[in-house]
Amino acid sequence: MELQENEISIMPRIGDDAPDFDAMTTHGKLNFSEFADGKWVVLFSHPADFTPVCTTELSGFAQRKDEFEALNTKLIGLSIDSIHSHLAWVNNVKEKTNVYLDFPIIADIDMKVAKLYGMLQPNESETAAVRAVFFIDPYMKIRLIMYYPLNVGRNMDEILRVLDALQVSDKNKVALPLNWKRGDKVIVPPPKTLEEMEERIADSAHEKIDFYLVKKELV
C-alpha cells in the first residue's frame, strides 16, 4: 500500500495542539485527551514488536516508569502492529526478562495515529513508524519532538532530562543551557527593555558573562 502525499505531509510542530484520537491499546480502547487527564504525556512510537532495538527501548521506558510518574507524566507507546502482536510481545518480554511493559501500547494497524503525528516517514520506511517521542503538556500542547531513525535507539536519560527541563522552565520562567540537568544553574531570560538591561548590568548577585547571559541557582 503506497502512501499518498496528502497522508504523509502532516508534521506536527512544537506549539501545536496535540491531535486527539481514539485508539485500541493494550489497556483497551481509549481516547487520547481523556487518557492524558491533565497530566504530561510522553507519546512514543517504535517500528515493530519483536525487534531487538525496540525491545531495549520499551524495556527502558518500563524500567524508569517511576521517574516519569514523579514528573506527573503518563507513558503511551505506539507501533503499526496488531493488538495480538503487542500482547504476545509484552508477554514474551516479561517471560524472558521479567520487565513488564505495563503502559498502554497503541495497535495502530491502520496507521491513523502514526499519520496524525508524522511518525511515518516514507524515505525511512513506508510501513513502520520511526522512533518518535512527543512531549505533550497538561494543556495538550506539543512542547518537544524527537524523531530517530529505525537503526538508532533513543537515550532514556535525555528523554527524562528534557521532560524535567520543560517543567523547570515553565515553573520558574527560565531557560536551560547546554547539557542542563537538575541542580545546575539556569539562565535568566535576557532583558527586553533598556531599563531591564541597566538593572541587569548593575546586578552582582548572579553569575554574569554579559547582560544577555546571566545564570542563577534555582532556589
Catalytic machinery residues: 54
For the window 187-216, what string marks contact with ligand BEZ as x by the rule CB under 6 A?
------------------------------
Please say which residue, 75 or 150, places its beta carbon nearer to ligand BEZ.
150
CA distance linking residue 159 with residue 134, whole number of Å: 10
Listing from the earlier edge strand, what are the strands of the sheet with 213-216? 186-188, 213-216, 207-210
- Residue 26 φ/ψ region, left for φ over 0, alpha for ψ in the -120 to 50 degree band, beta for the rest: alpha
Subset of residues 53 to 72 that bind ligand BEZ, contact rule: CB under 6 A? 53-54
51 binds ligand BEZ (CB under 6 A): yes
Residue 215 C-beta-side C-alpha neighbours within 13 Å: 11
User: What's the sign of the alpha-carbon dihedral 52, 115, 100, 164?
Assistant: positive
Compute the least distance from the CB of residue 163 to ligand BEZ, in Å.
23
Regarding 145 and contact with ligand BEZ (CB under 6 A), the answer is no
Residue 18 CA to residue 135 CA, distance in Å, equals 9
Site string for ligand BEZ, 87-126 (x = CB under 6 A): ----------------------------------------
- Of 129, 132, 142, the C-alpha closest to 32 is 142
Cell for 58? 520499551
Task: Rule CB under 6 A: say whether 48 interacts with ligand BEZ.
Answer: yes
Shortest Å, Cβ 23 to ligand BEZ: 21
User: What is the spatial distance between Cα 84 and Cα 68, in angstroms, rounded to a whole number?
Assistant: 27
Q: How far is the CB of 95 from ligand BEZ (least distance, A)?
A: 19
Task: Please identify which residue in 15, 28, 52, 183 interacts with ligand BEZ, judged by CB under 6 A.
Answer: 52
Tell which one of 98, 151, 179, 193 touches ligand BEZ (CB under 6 A).
Answer: 151
Return the range that interacts with ligand BEZ (CB under 6 A); candidates 19-27, 51-59, 67-75, 198-206.
Answer: 51-59
**Residue 59 amino acid letter:** S
Q: How far is the CB of 110 from ligand BEZ (least distance, A)?
A: 20
Q: For residue 59, give the nearest of 109, 28, 31, 95 by alpha carbon.
A: 95
For residue 125, the minimal CB distance to ligand BEZ (Å) is 8
How far apart CA 143 and CA 136 sit, in angstroms, is 6
Which residues are near ligand BEZ by CB under 6 A?
Answer: 47-48, 51-54, 128, 150-151
